[in-house]
């Protein structure tokens, strides 16, 4: 089966010479994305902890964070060979911006930029993480500033010229406010997988603050996230819900030796430390503390009350003996490793499909715009619509969506089977067998195809169930055909 990305490129290249130049250039830019990494947006309400989490994912403090409303512009963190920062104006011009590193933090000179007329900031950085994902930070939804509100909503919904900018989204929620769900609904495309469990996941953010930062805050976070996972409203919108403490994750991945030493000194001040840790105010005004007041402020900013209590207990109890030990422990409790695994499973493994699909949508939207005035545009639009309806990769994503949302009534085991099939892996990965196995692969695929085919036309089925069974039959038939082809060469 020819991959969707390839068919899309051939189709666009064929149409290109007859298209208006501007549209042809836009299409070229959209196709360029097929060769780049997945674009993952971090979204959520103001102060949900988006930029802090993004830094944790990056392993560096590049995104500005603050207790007050901070992120002004949609900001793209892309992999680059060197260090560069630009502002992209709405007319497409790139303005280089000055920046510096201050105490490990990236400080961009953005104060002179106007609130309007700037499409986004682009930070190019040689961070390994960005090879896999381009990360997009967004101003808070519900921001007091209309320009920031529009920027955040525009990125995730229609965006410039109807293009969606992100291939996948991580949505941070502190609580499941009604407006959170309404927001997710707003950028869900019922006809396909747009903001569906296939390309969105939700985080219960700042989970350490649950119950005032008690020692069991993260366990409570796990339980609440589990409840959200079962919530019918969220189930149809996001693949999973995980608790995360971005602050601890960020501190863990950027922990400095001096910070560890300050914590060790505090841990020796028992029992005063226990008293000081009763509240943030007490901690800040801890007169007889063994460290300077400015250091207390710094530690509180970096770790929060839960993190301080957790770290001091671990140090005092001899559980950790080095800054590296502490970083590992904080990272584990922050929930970041679980998030990393979910990102890989949900987005990483099917990145090429998610990208191809969102490029297909972008190009279709360009063709749609020019169709009224250009015959070649109209022809391209028809060809793209035909491609969307005949692409097996798109069909598999659709079935995945139907399975994960429970709309086709699949069991958990069948849903896991669809998840495997819709991954971008090898035949044996898609079949769930241990390794490449020539004849075995073919036989197993034929057997599974037959099992799904037998279910097509079941009188108790609705059309969605029949469609799902047909698509899976074709998936296995294609795997069998490919295995047969390999065996005969």
Residues at the interface with ligand GTP (CB under 6 A): 46-52, 65-67, 69-71, 139-140, 206, 208-209, 245-247, 304
Query: How many angstroms separate the most distant Cα atoms in the chain?
Result: 80
CB nearer to Mg ion: give 71 or 199.
71
Q: Does 138 bind Mg ion (CB under 5 A)?
A: no
State the nearest-atom distance from the C-beta of 246 to ligand GTP, in Å: 4
State the nearest-atom distance from the C-beta of 409 to Mg ion, in Å: 40
Q: Does 205 bind Mg ion (CB under 5 A)?
A: no
CB nearer to ligand GTP: give 284 or 443.
284
State the nearest-atom distance from the C-beta of 81 to ligand GTP, in Å: 28
CB nearer to ligand GTP: give 48 or 252.
48
State the nearest-atom distance from the C-beta of 99 to Mg ion, in Å: 17
The dihedral sign for the CA sequence 357, 362, 366, 372? positive
State the nearest-atom distance from the C-beta of 255 to Mg ion, in Å: 21
Distance, CA of 472 to chain centre:
27
Look-up of token digits 């039959």: 473
The answer to whether 227 and 237 have CB atoms below 8 angstroms apart is: no
User: Closest by alpha carbon to 9, among 384, 354, 351?
Assistant: 384
State the nearest-atom distance from the C-beta of 253 to Mg ion, in Å: 17
- 209's contact among ligand GTP, Mg ion, none, with CB below 5 to 8 A by partner kind, is ligand GTP
Measured distance CA(16)–CA(25) in Å, rounded: 9
List the structure tokens of 281: 């105010």
- 401's contact among ligand GTP, Mg ion, none, with CB below 5 to 8 A by partner kind, is none
Q: Does 51 bind Mg ion (CB under 5 A)?
A: yes
CB nearer to ligand GTP: give 131 or 284.
284
Cα-based torsion angle of the residue sequence 249, 254, 257, 263 in order, rounded to the nearest 10 degrees: -30
Measured distance CA(474)–CA(466) in Å, rounded: 12
Q: For 47, left (φ over 0), alpha (ψ -120 to 50), or beta?
A: left
State the nearest-atom distance from the C-beta of 114 to ligand GTP, in Å: 18
- 247's contact among ligand GTP, Mg ion, none, with CB below 5 to 8 A by partner kind, is ligand GTP
The answer to whether 142 and 47 have CB atoms below 8 angstroms apart is: no
| Side-by-side strand order, sheet with 200-204 | 94-96, 84-89, 118-125, 75-79, 133-137, 38-44, 168-173, 200-204, 241-243
x/- site string to Mg ion, residues 66 to 105, per CB under 5 A? ----xx----------------------------------
- 358's contact among ligand GTP, Mg ion, none, with CB below 5 to 8 A by partner kind, is none
CB nearer to Mg ion: give 71 or 346.
71
- 66's contact among ligand GTP, Mg ion, none, with CB below 5 to 8 A by partner kind, is ligand GTP
State the nearest-atom distance from the C-beta of 50 to Mg ion, in Å: 5
- 442's contact among ligand GTP, Mg ion, none, with CB below 5 to 8 A by partner kind, is none
What residues from 324 to 353 belong to the interface with Mg ion (CB under 5 A)?
none
Q: What is the DSSP letter of 428?
A: H
* Residue 59, CB-side half-sphere exposure with 13 Å CA sphere: 8
| Cβ density class 441-457: b for 16+ within 10 Å, e for less | bbebbbebbeebbeeee
Instruction: Give me the residues that bind Mg ion (CB under 5 A), please.
Output: 50-51, 70-71
């Amino acid at each position: 089966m020819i991959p969707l990305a390839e068919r899309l490129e051939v189709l666009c290249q064929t149409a290109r010479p007859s298209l208006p130049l501007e549209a042809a250039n836009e299409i070229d830019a959209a196709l360029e994305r097929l060769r780049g990494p997945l674009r993952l947006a971090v979204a959520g309400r103001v102060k949900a902890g988006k930029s802090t989490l993004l830094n944790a994912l990056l392993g560096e403090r590049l995104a500005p964070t603050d207790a007050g409303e901070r992120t002004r512009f949609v900001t793209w963190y892309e992999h680059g060979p060197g260090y560069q920062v630009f502002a992209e104006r709405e007319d497409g011009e790139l303005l280089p911006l000055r920046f510096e590193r201050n105490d490990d933090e990236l400080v961009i000179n953005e104060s002179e930029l106007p609130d309007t007329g700037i499409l986004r900031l682009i930070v190019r950085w040689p961070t390994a993480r960005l090879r896999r994902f381009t990360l997009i930070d967004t101003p808070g939804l519900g921001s007091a500033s209309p320009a920031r509100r529009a920027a955040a909503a525009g990125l995730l919904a229609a965006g410039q010229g109807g293009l969606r900018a992100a291939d996948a989204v991580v949505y941070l929620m502190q609580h499941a406010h009604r407006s959170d769900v309404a927001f997710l609904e707003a950028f869900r495309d019922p006809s396909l997988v747009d903001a569906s469990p296939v390309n969105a996941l939700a985080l219960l953010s700042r989970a350490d603050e649950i119950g005032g930062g008690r020692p069991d805050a993260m366990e409570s976070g796990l339980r609440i996230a589990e409840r959200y996972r079962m919530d019918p409203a969220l189930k149809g919108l996001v693949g999973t819900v995980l608790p995360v403490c971005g602050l601890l994750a960020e501190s863990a991945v950027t922990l400095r030796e001096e910070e560890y030493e300050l914590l060790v000194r505090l841990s020796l001040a028992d029992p005063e430390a226990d008293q000081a840790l009763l509240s943030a105010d007490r901690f800040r005004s801890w007169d007889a503390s063994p460290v300077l007041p400015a250091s207390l402020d710094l530690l509180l900013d970096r770790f929060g009350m839960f993190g301080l209590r957790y770290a001091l207990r671990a140090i005092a109890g001899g559980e950790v003996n080095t800054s590296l030990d502490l970083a590992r422990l904080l990272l584990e409790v922050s929930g970041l490793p679980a998030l990393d695994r979910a990102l890989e499973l949900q987005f990483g493994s099917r990145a090429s499909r998610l990208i191809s699909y969102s490029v297909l949508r972008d190009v279709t939207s360009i063709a749609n715009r020019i169709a009224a005035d250009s015959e070649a545009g109209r022809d391209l639009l028809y060809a793209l619509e035909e491609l969307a309806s005949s692409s097996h990769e798109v069909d598999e994503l659709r079935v995945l969506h139907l399975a994960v949302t429970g709309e086709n009534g699949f069991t958990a085991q069948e849903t896991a089977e669809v998840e495997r099939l819709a991954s971008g892996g090898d035949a044996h990965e898609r079949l769930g067998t241990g390794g490449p196995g020539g004849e075995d692969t073919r036989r197993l695929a034929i057997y599974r195809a037959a099992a799904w085919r037998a279910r097509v036309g079941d009188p108790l089925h609705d059309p969605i169930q029949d469609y799902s069974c047909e698509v899976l039959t074709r998936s296995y038939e294609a795997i069998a055909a490919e295995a047969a082809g390999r065996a005969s060469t």
